[in-house]
């Protein structure tokens, strides 16, 4: 059941339906999301919530390397496109010259956020201005009367020159979970393969089951030395929602769809990244959404808002059973 001892290190919002835990001191992320009588559906490292015992890393933007990234998981906000993460700054020339796509901006992921407002059902957190992206991000998490959770991120350009980014919502679950995005026959869906040049890695297969796109975390493919399955899917998602299933819960993530023309060409409105590994610590599922790609003058802002819904699930852990449950619930 709920790890209430570790939850004491979070800022908790709770009502009869849902419990949310925020970790302002590590990037203002949401680390906990569960039905009030259920388990956390987010991938998390609860021992790291005690930031007195496990201080968050403070890597310098000018010297950070991909090896300095420390996973805290949960739900966070990045910016897109990923290909430009280190191209629009002059502090870290090594990552810029390598056209590196990792790690994400440490200011957005590790810096402490200030709690500027807190009630029983709402928290507002504001981060520092980033030297890497030029953005200052604030996050609002709010419990709604109908049992849903609203998450809103707003980014302001704090540079004295224009910047161009989108807001990238990233909700992490365990990689043994399954994700679903409704698609149509006319949708343009892209699929990125795993690093198959590495001998122990293989592509994670995908399926379309009764109009839902899903990656298939099939552990039976761990043979002949294979230890990792992975893939990334880029999907238009005109319906504006995506789903993730644990063994006991359905998670729905919903936002207003962004037209294809307003999305950066290297991204998509809805994206699924999934990795299944023989090492459970490296197993992850990411349910991602991108906002409109915006050109911001100094002082201008952009925002991205989404809602989350949880429902109990007791059916089989198969794509067919999941899709049947989704159709019965939402049609």
pLDDT in tens, 82-98: 999 999 999 999 999 99
Say whether 19 sits in a helix, a strand or coil: strand
Confidence check: pLDDT of 192 > 90: no
Mean pLDDT of the chain: 94
Cβ atoms < 10 Å from Cβ of 281 = 9
Q: Label residue 237 by pLDDT band (50, 70, 90).
A: very high
Q: Label residue 315 by pLDDT band (50, 70, 90).
A: very high
Name the CA dihedral angle for 211, 214, 219, 220, rounded to a multiple of 10 degrees: 40
Main-chain dihedrals φ then ψ at residue 249, nearest 5 degrees: -140, 150
Q: Label residue 232 by pLDDT band (50, 70, 90).
A: very high
Percentage of residues in the chain having pLDDT higher than 70: 98
Q: How far apart are CA 125 and CA 29, in angstroms?
A: 9
Confidence check: pLDDT of 327 > 80: yes
Average pLDDT over residues 224-230: 91
Q: Give the pLDDT confidence score for residue 185 in this predicted structure.
A: 85
Q: Give the pLDDT confidence score for residue 330 in this predicted structure.
A: 80
Q: How many residues does the chain have?
A: 331
Confidence check: pLDDT of 5 > 90: no
Q: Label residue 160 by pLDDT band (50, 70, 90).
A: very high
Q: Give the pLDDT confidence score for residue 197 in this predicted structure.
A: 58
Average pLDDT over residues 180-185: 94
| Interstrand relation of 228-235 and 201-203 (parallel, antiparallel or unpaired) | parallel
Q: Give the pLDDT confidence score for residue 200 in this predicted structure.
A: 87
Pick the range with the lowest mean pLDDT from 113-117, 193-197, 254-258.
193-197
Q: What is the 3-state secondary structure of 118-184?
A: ECCCEEEEEEEECCCCCEEEEEEEEECCCCCEEEEEEEEECCCCCEEEEEEEEEEEECCCEEEEECC
Percentage of residues in the chain having pLDDT higher than 90: 88
Q: Label residue 51 by pLDDT band (50, 70, 90).
A: very high
Confidence check: pLDDT of 255 > 70: yes
Confidence check: pLDDT of 10 > 80: yes
Q: Label residue 135 by pLDDT band (50, 70, 90).
A: very high
Average pLDDT over residues 4-30: 96
Report pLDDT digits (tens) over 259-301.
999 999 999 999 999 999 999 999 999 999 999 999 999 999 9
All structural domains of the chain: 4-330 (2.70.98.10)
Long-range contacts of 301-304 (CB under 8 A, 24+ apart): 301/154, 301/155, 301/156, 301/157, 302/154, 302/155, 302/165, 302/166, 302/167, 303/152, 303/153, 303/154, 303/155, 303/167, 304/77, 304/152, 304/153, 304/167, 304/169, 304/255
């Amino acid at each position: 059941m709920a790890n209430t001892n570790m939850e004491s290190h979070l800022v908790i919002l709770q009502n009869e339906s849902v419990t949310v835990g925020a970790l302002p001191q590590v990037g203002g992320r949401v680390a906990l999301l569960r039905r009030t009588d259920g388990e956390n559906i987010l991938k998390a490292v609860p021992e790291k919530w005690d930031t007195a015992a496990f201080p968050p890393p403070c890597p310098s933007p000018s010297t950070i390397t991909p090896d300095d990234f420390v996973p805290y998981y949960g739900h966070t906000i990045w910016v897109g496109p990923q290909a430009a993460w280190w191209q629009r700054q002059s502090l870290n020339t090594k990552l810029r010259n390598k056209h590196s796509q990792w790690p994400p901006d440490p200011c957005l992921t590790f810096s402490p956020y200030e709690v500027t407002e807190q009630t029983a059902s709402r928290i507002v957190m504001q981060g520092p201005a980033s030297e890497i992206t030029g953005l200052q991000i604030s996050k609002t998490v709010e419990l709604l009367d109908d049992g849903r959770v609203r998450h809103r991120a707003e980014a302001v350009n704090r540079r004295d020159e224009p910047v161009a980014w989108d807001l990238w919502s990233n909700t992490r679950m365990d990689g043994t979970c399954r994700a679903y995005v409704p698609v149509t026959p006319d949708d343009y869906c892209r699929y990125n393969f795993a690093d198959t040049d590495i001998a122990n890695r293989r592509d994670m297969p995908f399926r379309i089951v009764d109009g839902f796109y899903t990656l298939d975390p099939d552990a039976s493919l761990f043979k002949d030395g294979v230890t990792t399955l992975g893939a990334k899917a880029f999907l238009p998602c005109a319906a504006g929602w995506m789903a993730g299933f644990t063994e006991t819960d359905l998670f729905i993530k919903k936002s207003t769809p962004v037209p294809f023309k307003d999305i950066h060409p290297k991204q998509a409105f809805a994206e699924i990244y999934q990795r299944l590994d023989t090492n459970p610590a490296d197993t992850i599922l990411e349910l991602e959404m991108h906002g409109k790609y915006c050109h911001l003058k100094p002082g201008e802002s952009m925002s991205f808002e989404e809602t989350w819904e949880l429902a109990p699930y007791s059916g089989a852990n198969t794509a067919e059973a999941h899709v049947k449950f989704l159709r019965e619930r939402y049609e």
